Amino acid sequence: MTLKEKFKREMCQCIEDAEPLLLYLQGKLAEDFSFRLEYQKWYSKALKIVEFLGSDRFEEFKSYYEINPKRKEASVGNYCIQDYFKGILPSHWSATESCAKSEVFLNVLNQVTILVSIKDRVDWVISDMQTHLLVKIQKTELKSAKKLLEINIRASGVIAGVVLERHLLNVLKNRKIDLKGKSKTISNLNDLLDEHNLVKKATWRRIQSLADTRNDCAHDNKEEPTKEDVKELLSGVSWIIGNVF
């Protein structure tokens, strides 16, 4: 099971787990249902999901549960789930738990609605996270290749070539572009980027030039790669990572 699949399953399960909470607040479950315990378990899980997928809705999600320390009294506009657990009733209502339950029901329903609204973010949030992680790894590898340049020019160029190849492959993967059975060489990957109009011609030519330098480093060609050639390769790969995605 992939990370995306696992997260989607957890998300769907969390939404389903809210159903008995809402049923209880509507009086459709037996009174022996432990709302306090079941809600706290649900909230802890849901809070982490919203923090990860919907940081823009995180404070709103918490506000339905947490008491606002700046408020003067509990009322219809600011009554929250924490009030209910503390036995606090809105000041201007008659002291009945059913009124409090109605308000808590709306708060929980709003939290569930937020979860549902960010459900479709799983794909792009996970992809974005993986892309950022890959870029971080690539930059570390390029730093290693630069240090290696003073010791072994060919080895430095080969590492830079691997970083470039992996980056182009990831770009195509994120765009859901089929390799059509082609081998994963820099030239083939570059041609696919060009075919789908993902790079300008100038960028395509630059990548082809970088691929040539990489090949000179990887194979025992007649022409020996120079230190300046590999410096240009390292610089070019760094530029591609930051501009082609």
Indicate the domain borders of the chain.
Answer: 3-117, 122-243
For the structural domain made of 122-243, what CATH number should be given? 1.20.120.330
Q: From the CB of residue 163, how many other CB atoms can be counted at a distance below 10 Å?
A: 26
Q: Is 67 exposed, middle or buried (0-12, 13-18, 19+ CB in 10 A)?
A: middle
Alpha-carbon distance values, 150 to 164, 198, 210, 215, 223 (Å):
20, 35, 19, 19, 19
**Predicted local confidence at residue 133, as pLDDT:** 74
Helix axes 201-218, 153-174, angle to 10 degrees: 140
Ranges of the chain whose pLDDT falls below 70 = 1, 3, 76, 92-96, 129, 221-222
Confirm if 157 and 213 have CB atoms less than 8 A apart. Answer: yes
Alpha-carbon distance values, 162 to 70, 82, 124, 200 (Å):
56, 54, 25, 22
**Predicted local confidence at residue 1, as pLDDT:** 66
- With the C-alpha atoms ordered 236, 239, 241, 244, is the resulting torsion angle positive or negative? negative
**Predicted local confidence at residue 89, as pLDDT:** 81
